[in-house]
Structure 1
Amino acid sequence: MEDTQGTIAMRDYCADELPLELGLEEEEEDNDNDDDGDGENNGASEEEDEQEYGFRFQGEMNPLAFVEEHDAAGLQPYERFEQVQYHYEALAAKKHNTPASPHYYSRETPAKRLRQEEIHGASFEEIMEAMNYGMRRKSKKTKKKGRRKGSKKKINSELTRKLGDATLHYAHGRYEEAISDLNEVILLAPNLSDPYHTLGLIYNEMGDKKRALNFYMIAAHLTPKDASLWKLLVTWSIELDNKRQANYCLSKAITADPEDINLQFHRASIYVELGEYHKAAESYEQISRLCPDNIEVLKTATQLYQKCGQHERAIYILEDYLTNHVNDADLSMVDLLASVHMEGKAHDKALEHIKHAQQVYCAEKDIPLHLLIKSGICHAHLRQTEKAETIFSVLQQENACTHPHLIIEVADSLMTVEQYESALKYYTMLDGDGNKYNGYLHLKIAKCYVSLRKRVQAIEYFYRAIHQLDDSVDARLTLSSLLLEEGRDDEAISVLSPQMESESALEPTSRISRQWWLNGKIKLKLSQIYKAKGSFEAFVDVIFPVIRETLFLETYQQKVKARKRLSTTVLHERVKVLDDHQTGNVFQGFKPLASAAELSKASRAKRLLRKKATIKEEKKAAALAAGIDWKSDDSDDECPQDLREPPLPVLLKNEEHHHLIIDLCKSLSALQRYWDALQIINLCLKLACNTLSPERKEDLRTLGAQVAYNISDPAHGWDCVRYIVSRHPYSFSAWNCYYKVMSRMDNRYSKHNKFLHNMRVKHKDSVPPIMISAHMFTMISQHQAAAREYLEAYRLMPDSPLINLCVGTSLINLALGLRLQNKHQCMAQGLAFLFNNFRLCDNSQEALYNIARAYHHIGLVSLATTYYEKVLAMPEKDYPIPKLPNENQDPMDYKRPGYCDLRREAAYNLHLIYKKSGAFDLARQVLKDYLTF
């Protein structure tokens, strides 16, 4: 046939339709002298050759490149050969229209399987045309059976001489000369196994075991029936801790030496180590067919099938064994079959098998005790209580120490069927030696007492259990609940709180497993107890760190998930489906069958790897140029491994937890820990995109708005107050909260100005934003703009005392300016609004004082004196200072009586007028009457 460079040939006389990546190496033959041997014998030989393949180097390739450099995709040597075999099996299956191997489809994804089905459905001509198949057409002559002349390639004398020289060099320790000669032999005859084998020996002597293994791997594939070489590769692969490669070599060794049962045992055990329990079970099942008398192998296969969830298969194997051993079955197999049925809740079937064994196998002897007890357990689950008790009666206190596992099994079963009194009877048989069960026996006894509503006895056994259990979280929670029901609150707190000496007494090795007091459930229960007792400070100290840690962890995990960056390992795995196209590589041109989607992913992965490599080289060059030791930083390649489980999982999805967060924030606010409260609220809102309902979100934002105006930097509560007024644009209470927060911030806060403008445009008839804008103009002495805004608010609410007061003061301040032409008219209008405020306030002291202060401000002191005297003649009772809803009372607000009375302010201003006019005696008398105590 015509050689195609960069291909791998598969020897198989039947696989004549191969794509470009796989060439078929037909044996050299003379078409004129096809065969002259016995047809029958050669027919058998041909049939045997059809069932195996061998890989061959083909074309002008350098096979040494395989061991000199690794593929960029990071493939192991055995994985290359697996791909070759996979292609061969796929194409051979296409020809025969049968699956290539028992696991041909099972190891492929559905997408790849569909791809294979598409290929199988194509005709040979379509494949040839699509792939530009360059090989010569197969001869249409009918093949004759018989031995083919000249089919074996003969080694010429020059190669023989070089092999002999290399062997002599190796024997005398001249490894470099031997390697040189062997390399020449490989280049001339790449499909001879001897030079690869000798190179493996040499590199092994030189200590380069990895390269030696690669050469041995090639030699083994060139001589696939050499079982000893495959066994050596198995040993080396295990030494290199490459179990998958060892498994691959074991499969080849089993093919070469199917009589060696130890190889199959070894492969099954490696499957178990790799966690591939289904394959391990199948392997043990195959071994059981070769060794039908080996009961342990059959048991292992059954247990592995159970482990991977195939209970029906496990039952089938055991029942098949009992069918084939009617008279001499092993009772341990009956015991195992009964256990499998009992695990599947089929107690009636388990009981049938035990009764059958008792009648057939134990007709002349007593049935083993463990089988008898199993029958009693089946009766108990079938609600046949009397029969079960009769069977269990063989277990007495005297033989409790002899069969403790049977007693525990009986008690557990009775507890499962809710026969707690009976279960308690068997548990207490072992109570004398309860300490050797590490607290679990006492825990089961305590649970029985709880079910029987005997709290005092349950508390006693829970105390005995928690001192021995490594993980006593659930036991402590149950014990604390029982103590609370008994009214022993302090004991419940003590059970859930760590002892000070216990933390220091623990060894570092056991610290992780014994720190039960750090569990989120423990903290939650303890906080609930403190809250019920009214100890809010203790409640906050316990639950605040837990909730904050949970929210931080969930926030971090949410960020990690949002990145969606593939690791370098995943990228390398995707690149495996692409052809490497490295010159001189053994597998150049080899391309696995894959779907279009997989090829597209692989191409993107290859580009990303190149980009990463370029960036890495640039960083390295820059660091070296700067004289800095360069260290590779691949931290962004892999997913973080230090993410731990939050103390309170699904915190925001639980209704009870939501109320807990609200209670915590209120408690923090009551303790004046405003920053902590706002931190919890902001974290919850950040995580609440898809988890919290709108009602819960509004509760949190309302609480955040109430907290925001109490912290030193109210900008952190901006989002909360903005949300509140957005939802309630006409609420004075909401706008009061907003303005209280914003009045403590910079007036040029851009977000505030933009938001306020948008609210005014969107809600033109809302008075509060208009008033806030006017106040802001007043604060920067722009009285004309302020008056315009106040008058707009007056147009909407003319009967508001506050608006009339604000309009009056703004007009008076505007009249005192220099640019206004009609100052007297503006002044009169301002005073008119103040008198309107006086009318709306029912002639109150405050309104009189405002009028007096206005006259005093513009210089009309005689009128001011008149109104100040009216204020002095009108006492005023105290009123509580207005507070926002749910606002905490400030201790500074508790002032002395009379803090709402303005007579002192009026007297002081009046004494200033008297003093300025020269009436010092009157000024002194006013101070004496109203400003001395």
Structure 2
Amino acid sequence: MDESKPGTSIEIIDEINTENELTNKFLSGEMSFADYSTEWFDYEDEDDVETNRRIVDESRQSNLIAEKGVIRRRKATRLTPALLGLMGEANLRFARGDKETAERMCQEIIKQIPTSAEPYQTLAQIYENDPEKSLQFSLLAAHLSPSDPNEWLRLAAISKERGDIKQEMMCYTQAIKADPHNLEIHLKRLQVLDYLEEAKYPLNSFNVSHVKCYHKIATSLPASEADTVMKYARLGVTIYHNSNEIERALDLMGAVYKKCPAAFNIEDLNILLELLISRKQYQTCLEVFVASAGVTIEAEIQTVKNSKGDIEEQTNYIKCCMPNDLQIDLKSKLLICFIYLGATDLIPSLLNDFLSNEVEKAGDLYMDIEEALTAMGYHDLAMQLLEPLVKNTSFDLGAVWLKHADCLHNLGQDDDAIQSYNKVLTHAPQHPEARKKLYNILLKKGQISEAVNALQQDYRYAISMELLYQQLCVLKEHNKSLKYMEIGQALLCKTFVQFRHPEELAISYSQKNPKNSVEHINNFRSVRGESLYLPNEIHFDEDETFKLTPQQEWELFKELLEIAFKNKKFFTMQRLTAGAITSKSLYPHRAEIEFLCFQSCLLNKDYENAIRLVKEFAQKYPNTRTWNLLGFLVNTVDEGKHARYIIRLFQKDNLAVKNIFLGNNFLTTGRYIVAFKHFLEYHNHNPKEPFSALMVGICLLVMASQRTMSKYQNLILQGMSYLLLYQKLRNCDQEAYYNLGRAYQMLSINNLAIEYYEKALAAGPIAVCSQHGVMDLTRETAYNLYILYKEQSPQMARKYLNKYLVI
């Protein structure tokens, strides 16, 4: 025997073990009867439509599939002759009062065949003095032999007394399975549902609902109870229709129609036909028309070759006669069926008959027929319906004009179609489909500007992101950069914060996580008493599924930033970069975005936020470039409030740049003694560094120029000595001479200043670079000489002016 297949000896042993385990759990109270039946016998409410389709006889047996995850089914419950004899002996022992022996015999039978009902029935009688045990055995017996509805009703009553609602509901369901034609049982189950609904009990814990009960009643009762059947069928179809369960609604109405077609009134037929049409069962619709609506149809079967060359039969509809009093709703549905069935000989005459009805009363039906004609490519016939509609004030609607425009376009009348599409936009300015189609027609006609304008949406309404992206692609193709930047910013508003205040920019810079940025900005708006979403901000269509990929968003962001930079839109750059920080999809580019934020702040002269960002850079990237940026910003801002931060920044770090940076900062803030201390400390550690010698000399000279400083002559001598040391260490004559000239000019020793300036003019440039050009101090030197000579010797001043400073 192949032990890998279901039904082998190993699997049978597993089944028996599983049976015993589940039964013992139920009898010991570890699981409820509802859980037991669900676990073992696949308890599922038969009212489910899918289950209704596969009802099988209770006596039929199905193989137990032991594979994990596959639902188990009932097995055969017949006892063997030996066990039948044992069961009879047990009943005799119980009748004689020997309950213990009878119980042992029943337990032995259960061990061998756990799914046999007889031992559980006897055990229920044995434990009649123990209501709990008796109920458990009765439930098992009824479940294993479920054909007695009265037993299930008895158990339902006991469950109700015990307050076990779920078990009571299951008992009624099993009773209905046993006797589906009993309306009283159906109504009792509905009463339980009504009670639970009023008590606001969570009905989703049951596999049963009102609509399933209605469905079961309508499909179970015989045709003799047609009124009751139709009552519950209508209730069920209404619920199905409201929940858009069209397939189930059709199953219900179709089953009821087969059972009692004579009970269908006009409204019922209308619903059935509508459901059939929605599922494209047009041939069935014609059968219903002939059987129940008094319609006669003549047709012939023709043998034709299909596109593949195969012979097939085709129905050719020749004639159709309708009763004079046939309702217009049914007429329209009949016409729709013939349209989809391709009855080209009948459609014109039936359409003319329908057009005799007033548009005011049958406008919606006009639309249904037009949809069918358009779907089958009969655009000329569809136009016969659309023209009366658009001329009627009651149907002067955007949806009608859209169909009119589409029909004109399909007929090749593009000029008229343009006018109709504009009518659509008059009624629905944000209609994306109309704008797309209008754009394509205008583009095809070569009207580029008009085509681009057709894609422009009104930001006062919810806008289509897909249409916005299409407009962006068109603008890029035609190189309209400024408009491209405007539309691109609107598109990025989907994931970027739309900033309202400068403070919100600062909040976005300060947060490390995009989610935190959005939360803090929303909290800031709440504190200000503002709404999270303002009417004048861009809102997107929430039902739209289109969105940019992270890579598309990143590329678009960089393009917009480049356009803004080229057009010197620095504030736009700052808003874009700050918005990028709040985007979750751009989080992988966080480091690059932060530096772009810093650059945009510099360009927009927002130095406060720039300092905030460069402080973060100082922690993350402690290098020369960072110190230069930090030093530039600290010197740019007039206030000295960042001095403490700088001290803390270098408090623990023994960096070579520490003394230079601090010295320069204190020098620019007027704290010359502290600056001198840092420059001197750096110079003592680097005695051959010309820059430190220059800065020490400058500090000494600046201190000497203060009126409150005593013995300033010594400071001047010391300062000049450091400058001369700087000249010696600095291997660049023009720069050294120029700086010495500046020092003497500051001390008003003009003769020496002139001497060194002349030497600087005579020296060559500082450096010549292929990338940065010539670095030369000639003009600066000449200008200083002009200043020195201007008062005492105008001719000499003019000489330097004409020679070096005239362009």
TM-score (ref. length: structure 1):
0.46
Q: Which residue number in structure 1 is paired with residue 119 of structure 2?
A: none
Question: Could you tell me how far apart the structure 2 residues matched to 1:556 and 1:846 are?
Answer: 49
The DSSP-based 3-state class of the residue aligned with 1:465 is helix
Question: Could you tell me how far apart the structure 2 residues matched to 1:791 and 1:484 are?
Answer: 74
Question: Could you tell me how far apart the structure 1 residues matched to 2:166 and 2:753 are?
Answer: 116
Cα deviation, residue 810, structure 1: 2.8
**Structure 1's 773 and 312: CA in aligned 2 closer, same or farther, altered over 3 A?**
same
Output the amino acid matched with 2:694.
G
Q: Say if 1:281 and 1:302, in contact at 8 Å, map to a contact too.
A: no
Cα deviation, residue 928, structure 1: 2.6
Q: Which residue number in structure 2 is paired with residue 222 of structure 1?
A: none
The superposition leaves residues 161-208 of structure 1 with CA deviations (integer Å, 9 ceiling, x where unpaired) of xxxxxxxxxxxxxxxxxxxxxxxxxxxxxxxxxxxxxxxxxxxxxxxx
Q: Which residue number in structure 2 is paired with residue 905 of structure 1?
A: 783
The DSSP-based 3-state class of the residue aligned with 2:696 is helix
Q: Which residue number in structure 2 is paired with residue 347 of structure 1?
A: 280
Q: Say if 1:708 and 1:714, in contact at 8 Å, map to a contact too.
A: yes
1:743 partnered with 2:635: yes
Question: Could you tell me how far apart the structure 1 residues matched to 2:498 and 2:798 are?
Answer: 62
Cα deviation, residue 708, structure 1: 1.8
**Matches of residues 117-128 of structure 1 in structure 2 within 5 Å?**
none
Cα deviation, residue 464, structure 1: 4.2
Output the amino acid matched with 1:931.
L
Q: Which residue number in structure 2 is paired with residue 428 of structure 1?
A: 383
Question: Could you tell me how far apart the structure 1 residues matched to 2:266 and 2:744 are?
Answer: 114
Q: Which residue number in structure 2 is paired with residue 927 of structure 1?
A: 797
1:302 partnered with 2:231: no
**Structure 1's 550 and 518: CA in aligned 2 closer, same or farther, altered over 3 A?**
farther
Output the amino acid matched with 1:347.
K
Q: Which residue number in structure 1 is paired with residue 130 of structure 2?
A: none
Q: Which residue number in structure 2 is paired with residue 102 of structure 1?
A: 193
The superposition leaves residues 663-702 of structure 1 with CA deviations (integer Å, 9 ceiling, x where unpaired) of 66666666666556545644553x44xx243344445433
1:337 partnered with 2:272: yes
Output the amino acid matched with 1:490.
S
Question: Could you tell me how far apart the structure 1 residues matched to 2:497 and 2:166 are?
Answer: 60
Question: Could you tell me how far apart the structure 2 residues matched to 1:927 and 1:871 are?
Answer: 17
**Structure 1's 875 and 745: CA in aligned 2 closer, same or farther, altered over 3 A?**
same
**Structure 1's 318 and 399: CA in aligned 2 closer, same or farther, altered over 3 A?**
closer
Question: Could you tell me how far apart the structure 2 residues matched to 1:474 and 1:930 are?
Answer: 73
Question: Could you tell me how far apart the structure 2 residues matched to 1:354 and 1:525 are?
Answer: 45
**Matches of residues 564-583 of structure 1 in structure 2 within 5 Å?**
none
Q: Which residue number in structure 2 is paired with residue 491 of structure 1?
A: 450
The superposition leaves residues 789-846 of structure 1 with CA deviations (integer Å, 9 ceiling, x where unpaired) of 55788899999xxx8446413334337656999986775444333444443xxx5x44
Question: Could you tell me how far apart the structure 2 residues matched to 1:320 and 1:435 are?
Answer: 43
The DSSP-based 3-state class of the residue aligned with 1:851 is helix
Q: Which residue number in structure 2 is paired with residue 39 of structure 1?
A: none
Question: Could you tell me how far apart the structure 1 residues matched to 2:588 and 2:680 are?
Answer: 38
Question: Could you tell me how far apart the structure 2 residues matched to 1:783 and 1:96 are?
Answer: 88
**Matches of residues 611-690 of structure 1 in structure 2 within 5 Å?**
646-648=538-540, 655=550, 674=570, 677-679=573-575, 681-682=577-578, 685=581, 687-688=582-583
Q: Say if 1:662 and 1:700, in contact at 8 Å, map to a contact too.
A: no
1:409 partnered with 2:409: no
The DSSP-based 3-state class of the residue aligned with 1:551 is coil
Question: Could you tell me how far apart the structure 2 residues matched to 1:370 and 1:798 are?
Answer: 104
The superposition leaves residues 746-791 of structure 1 with CA deviations (integer Å, 9 ceiling, x where unpaired) of 54335x743x456546876585x76543320221344565466557
Cα deviation, residue 877, structure 1: 11
Q: Which residue number in structure 1 is paired with residue 163 of structure 2?
A: 93
Output the amino acid matched with 2:384.
M
The superposition leaves residues 544-564 of structure 1 with CA deviations (integer Å, 9 ceiling, x where unpaired) of 79978962599999579979x
Cα deviation, residue 462, structure 1: 1.8
TM-score (ref. length: structure 2):
0.52
Q: Which residue number in structure 2 is paired with residue 209 of structure 1?
A: none
The DSSP-based 3-state class of the residue aligned with 2:636 is coil
Output the amino acid matched with 2:758.
E
Q: 2:250 aligns with which of 301, 315, 325?
A: 315
**Matches of residues 42-121 of structure 1 in structure 2 within 5 Å?**
93-94=163-164, 98=168, 101-105=192-196
Output the amino acid matched with 1:902.
E
Question: Could you tell me how far apart the structure 2 residues matched to 1:910 and 1:409 are?
Answer: 96
Question: Could you tell me how far apart the structure 2 residues matched to 1:717 and 1:443 are?
Answer: 52
Cα deviation, residue 400, structure 1: 4.1
The superposition leaves residues 48-98 of structure 1 with CA deviations (integer Å, 9 ceiling, x where unpaired) of xxxxxxxxxxxxxxxxxxxxxxxxxxxxxxxxxxxxxxxxx9876249962
Q: Which residue number in structure 2 is paired with residue 551 of structure 1?
A: 498
The size of the alignment, in residue pairs, is 550
The superposition leaves residues 130-179 of structure 1 with CA deviations (integer Å, 9 ceiling, x where unpaired) of xxxxxxxxxxxxxxxxxxxxxxxxxxxxxxxxxxxxxxxxxxxxxxxxxx
**Matches of residues 859-898 of structure 1 in structure 2 within 5 Å?**
864-873=753-762
Q: Which residue number in structure 1 is paired with residue 19 of structure 2?
A: none
**Structure 1's 558 and 745: CA in aligned 2 closer, same or farther, altered over 3 A?**
same
**Matches of residues 527-566 of structure 1 in structure 2 within 5 Å?**
551=498, 558=519
Q: Which residue number in structure 2 is paired with residue 707 of structure 1?
A: 600
**Matches of residues 161-310 of structure 1 in structure 2 within 5 Å?**
292=227, 299=234, 301-310=236-245
Query: What stretches of structure 1 of length at least 5 have no aligned partner?
Result: 1-88, 117-275, 499-514, 566-634, 884-897
Q: Say if 1:907 and 1:931, in contact at 8 Å, map to a contact too.
A: no
Output the amino acid matched with 2:724.
L
Q: Which residue number in structure 2 is paired with residue 621 of structure 1?
A: none
The DSSP-based 3-state class of the residue aligned with 2:498 is helix
Cα deviation, residue 929, structure 1: 0.7
Q: Say if 2:691 and 2:726, in contact at 8 Å, map to a contact too.
A: yes
Question: Could you tell me how far apart the structure 1 residues matched to 2:356 and 2:766 are?
Answer: 87
**Structure 1's 109 and 410: CA in aligned 2 closer, same or farther, altered over 3 A?**
same
The DSSP-based 3-state class of the residue aligned with 2:783 is helix
Q: Say if 2:680 and 2:696, in contact at 8 Å, map to a contact too.
A: no
Q: Say if 1:412 and 1:423, in contact at 8 Å, map to a contact too.
A: no
1:694 partnered with 2:575: no
The superposition leaves residues 699-752 of structure 1 with CA deviations (integer Å, 9 ceiling, x where unpaired) of 5433331232344652134433444555544362x55544443333254335x7
Q: Say if 1:305 and 1:313, in contact at 8 Å, map to a contact too.
A: yes
**Structure 1's 789 and 96: CA in aligned 2 closer, same or farther, altered over 3 A?**
closer
The superposition leaves residues 464-512 of structure 1 with CA deviations (integer Å, 9 ceiling, x where unpaired) of 43345476454235424543565424324654679xxxxxxxxxxxxxx
Q: Which moved more, 1:716-725 or 1:757-766?
A: 757-766
Q: Say if 1:835 and 1:851, in contact at 8 Å, map to a contact too.
A: no
Query: Relative contact order: is structure 1 or structure 2 higher (C-alpha 8 Å, sep ≥ 6)?
Result: 1
Question: Could you tell me how far apart the structure 2 residues matched to 1:846 and 1:496 are?
Answer: 61
**Structure 1's 452 and 661: CA in aligned 2 closer, same or farther, altered over 3 A?**
farther
The superposition leaves residues 852-896 of structure 1 with CA deviations (integer Å, 9 ceiling, x where unpaired) of 32455567766544331123345879999x99xxxxxxxxxxxxx
Q: 2:425 aligns with which of 462, 466, 469?
A: 466
Q: Which residue number in structure 2 is paired with residue 777 of structure 1?
A: 666
Output the amino acid matched with 1:303.
T
1:851 partnered with 2:766: no
The superposition leaves residues 275-317 of structure 1 with CA deviations (integer Å, 9 ceiling, x where unpaired) of x99799899989x999928979955652332112444552343
The DSSP-based 3-state class of the residue aligned with 2:193 is coil
Q: Which residue number in structure 1 is paired with residue 127 of structure 2?
A: none
% same residue: 14
**Structure 1's 328 and 708: CA in aligned 2 closer, same or farther, altered over 3 A?**
closer
Cα deviation, residue 925, structure 1: 3.8
Output the amino acid matched with 1:904.
A
Output the amino acid matched with 1:323.
K
Q: Say if 1:811 and 1:827, in contact at 8 Å, map to a contact too.
A: yes
